[in-house]
Each structure stands twice: as C-alpha cells, then as structure tokens.
C-alpha cells in the first residue's frame, strides 16, 4: 500500500478525504470546495495556500488536526478524496453543507 491509497492514511484523515470527495460532487477540487466540507464533532482545518502567496510554481492544500499536519498537491488530494468518497459509500453519514 502506498500514499496514493486513502487506506494508507490515518482513519480520521480518510474521513476528511471522503467528506471533501462528497463536497466535490463529481467536479474538480477548488479552494471554494473547502467551504462545503463539514463533519460533525471533528476538529480539523483544511486550507489552500495559493502559489502567488508562495512565489512558487504551484500551491497546495494543507490539512491540520490533533496529531499532525499534512500537505498535498491539488491533483493528489483530489484523487485521494474521490477514492475515499467512493470507498466510504454508505458506511458513515457525512454532512457536506448542501
């Protein structure tokens, strides 16, 4: 198993991936998608750091919660979120603010 498989990551992070994947609703991941992500009783932040803020070629997304902070490039996070949402199916209710 490698870091492109959602199950590689901690369970709470997998749940965040699934919530983001559901919020994407078949569309591409954008910073606006983050406003749609809500999970009951969980304390985490997910933010986008734009490339202009970094003077870098590309920006990134960052997820922080108790126990760690993870940084993902857009394409990788999008793939993880789609896969996690698909795998989660009906296992747990996750609110997406819609």
Per-residue pLDDT tens for 12-66? 999 999 999 999 999 999 999 988 887 877 788 899 988 776 566 778 999 999 8
Cα–Cα dist 78/21, whole Å:
7
Judge whether 97 lies within some domain. Answer: no
Judge whether 23 lies within some domain. Answer: yes
Judge whether 96 lies within some domain. Answer: no
Judge whether 10 lies within some domain. Answer: yes
Judge whether 35 lies within some domain. Answer: yes
* Number of folded domains that form the chain: 1
Judge whether 38 lies within some domain. Answer: yes
Judge whether 93 lies within some domain. Answer: no
Judge whether 95 lies within some domain. Answer: no
Closest CA relative to residue 5, chosen from 87, 68, 97, 70: 87
| pTM of the predicted protein model | 0.81
Domain that holds residue 35: 6-88
């Amino acid at each position: 198993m490698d870091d492109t498989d959602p199950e590689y990551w901690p369970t709470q992070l997998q749940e965040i991936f699934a919530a983001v994947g559901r919020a994407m609703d078949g569309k591409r991941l954008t910073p606006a998608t983050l406003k749609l992500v809500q999970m009951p009783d969980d304390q985490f932040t997910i933010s986008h750091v734009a490339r202009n803020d970094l003077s870098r070629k590309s920006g990134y997304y960052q997820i922080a919660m108790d126990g760690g902070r993870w940084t993902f490039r857009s394409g990788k996070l999008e793939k993880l979120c789609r896969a996690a949402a698909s795998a989660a199916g009906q296992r747990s209710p996750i609110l997406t603010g819609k």
